[in-house]
Amino acid sequence: MNFLLNVLWIFFGGGFVIALEYLLAGLVLCLTIIGIP
């Protein structure tokens, strides 16, 4: 379901930037989770 919504956002034009921001935020969260131990 989220994938379909992301595709719709990309079609509307602003989704690509939002997708990059979510990807960057996800990487940062993964790094912090890995760095906690």
Q: What is the pLDDT of residues 1-37, one digit of tens each?
A: 788 877 776 667 666 777 788 888 888 888 877 766 6
* Per-residue confidence (pLDDT) for residue 36, from 0 to 100: 65
Q: Are 15 and 24 in contact (CB under 8 A)?
A: no
Alpha-helical runs (H) found in the chain: 2-12, 15-35
- pLDDT at residue number 25: 87
- Where do we find the tokens 């989770």? 33
In whole angstroms, give the CA distance from residue 35 to residue 37: 6
pLDDT at 37: 63
Q: Looking at residue 17, what DSSP letter applies? A: H
Whether the Cβ atoms of residue 18 and residue 24 lie closer than 8 Å to each other: no
Q: Provide the pLDDT for residue 15.
A: 62
